[in-house]
Amino acid sequence: MLKSILPFFRLVIAGFVMAREGVFGLASLPDTPPAARLALRIIRLVERRGVQKKDAAARLTDALNRLGPSYIKLGQFLATRPDVVGREAAKELSSLQDNVPAFDTNHARATIEDQFGVKVEELFEEFGEPIAAASIAQVHTAQIRTPSGELEKVAVKVLRPGVERRFQRDLQSFYLAANFVERFVPASRRLRPLAVVDTLARSVAVEMDFRMEAAALSEMAENIKEDPNFKVPQVNWPRTSRSILTMEWIDGIKLTNLEAVENSGHNLPELGNHVIQSFLRHALRDGFFHADMHQGNLFVQDNGTLVAVDLGITGRLDVAERRFLAEILYGFITRDYRRVAEVHFEAGYVPSNQDVDVFAQAIRAIGEPIHGHDASEISMARLLTQLFEVTELFDMHTQPQLIMLQKNMVVVEGVARTLNPHLDMWRTADPVVRTWIQSNLGPGGKISDLASSIGVLSRMATSLPILADRAARLSGDLESMAHHGLRFDEKTAEAIGKAEARHSRSGRWALWVIAASLAALAYSQIV
């Protein structure tokens, strides 16, 4: 009973803390339904008197730090959306990406020794103090001795003590909220709140196993080895475990420090375009992308190379999903809204009982305001609200496999906008999407598909004798059952007999208990 009550109280406390500090007053979404506006007004009654917007933003970071890692992740996302929460709030929230209080170095050393079973000095020539701390882990500088005898600087990522337990506690509250919303708000069911929390739970479990992050770094390094001006750190596998990740040290400027990036002579608009195009290239070409590309996870080196770190959260798209994504993006770029609508139906994103022409008209209402305007003239909050209304109108359901992609596209676009306030999302995406379309949906792609199909048919042909033999045996077994009935082997028959005996004994005991209860009841009535 207590286990079911505690998540509810934690959720109430979290909501109260945020409401008290004015969190719900930071975002003012347009076109909000009347019921939602009324709820916001009621919630804001508990705000501290005299709370100004800037003060509320400053208190928000403190509240999220107290509430734990899950809420810090929420703050990191909002930091990339100054058009939603306001510039002051976004500026304050950005501190959550690299200014979370560090834990004691002695805890880090103890974790390393526990993971590897040796003293820290046997693994590292020097192990320094933390240089960055985040919600999941913190990073230390260290030096190792290479096989050639030289000293090499590395970064050592160490998991926060007790972070797994805290995440599980927060996830219980999120599941409670998702269940409540799905049960009492029917319109929300198409968004699959439980599926969203499931996705979060899986991503958190993967993120806190640093061996998985090391594997992601290795896979992405192979994918991008021919890409210009984009890289990820190399992994030091002998010094990596479940809670420890040792990797190449990166010299560069973090994108959170825009002034330093600009003073170093980098072209900010070009860098913003590079962020967008790199993400789309990984998603479309490789089907494997960094799913947490906020400013705190991106560095730029002196030669203009963009370096992505912290691959604890990644996303994947299969070939079919990549084709749907490319065609949808290309349709928006070329303003072919009919094709965008058709792709939604082909992918199963829109129920087949809806009208494709009417849906195309709704898509046009979203796409047209974007063209011919830069980001500074567009309210992304209003566009997101319109998209929500359209999906609700056509009974579209959230696709769990696309949740990570959708979330990170918003994050990446927000990062690019901080570098280039006049970013034209569609013009920037055009070269990457057009190239992928030509390579995969043009003549070359058709030939590749034909080769894949021939390979599949070849494998099926080699399996035909085995399948035929199995089919013949199955046919014989069915014919025997038709003539002689269903027969069990000796062990199966014996197991069934024992189960029946236990069932009979249980039934007799139940009857005796019922009889005794009735007798006692009758006796009490007589007396």
Q: Is 138 helix (H, G, I), strand (E, B) or coil?
A: strand
- Residue pair 97/294 in contact (Cβ under 8 Å)? The answer is yes
Tokens coding 3: 């286990």
Beta carbons within 10 angstroms of residue 114's beta carbon? 11
123 has pLDDT over 60: yes
Mean pLDDT of 10-22: 81
- Could you state, in order of their start, the residue ranges of all structural domains in the chain? 2-97, 251-450, 490-527
pLDDT category at 289 given cuts 50, 70, 90 is: very high
Q: What confidence score (pLDDT) does residue 345 get?
A: 87
pLDDT at 236: 96
pLDDT digits (tens, 9 = 90+) for 26-67: 655 555 567 767 777 787 777 777 666 556 567 777 788 778
Percent over 90 (pLDDT), the chain: 27
Of 293, 296, 258, the C-alpha closest to 137 is 296
Instruction: From 329, 297, 302, 336, select the one nearest 313 (Cα to Cα).
Output: 297
Query: Is 292 an annotated catalytic residue?
Result: yes
For the cut 70, the answer to whether the pLDDT of residue 142 exceeds it is yes
Burial 27-40 (b: 16+ CB within 10 A, else e): eeeeeeeeeeeeeb
Q: pLDDT digit string (tens) for 213-250?
A: 999 999 999 999 999 899 999 999 999 999 999 999 99
Q: Which residues, in sequence order, are CB contacts of 65 under 8 Å at separation 6+?
A: 72, 96, 100, 101
SS3 98: coil
CA distance 198 to 483: 50
> φ, ψ for residue 118 (rounded to 5)?
-135, 165
pLDDT, tens digit, 9 for 90 and up, residues 61-118: 778 877 877 777 767 666 655 544 556 666 677 666 556 789 999 999 999 999 999 9
Output the pLDDT for position 377.
61
- Nearest of 241, 238, 239 to residue 127 by alpha carbon: 239
Region 191-212 average pLDDT? 80
For residue 203, which of 216, 220, 190 has the smallest C-alpha distance? 216
pLDDT of residue 30: 54
Q: Tens of pLDDT along 442-480? A: 554 445 544 544 554 555 556 566 656 666 666 666 666
Which of 292, 430, 469, 489 is an active site residue?
A: 292
Kindly indicate the confidence band of residue 399, based on its pLDDT and cuts at 50, 70 and 90. Answer: low
- The neighbour count for residue 269, using CB atoms within 10 Å, is 14
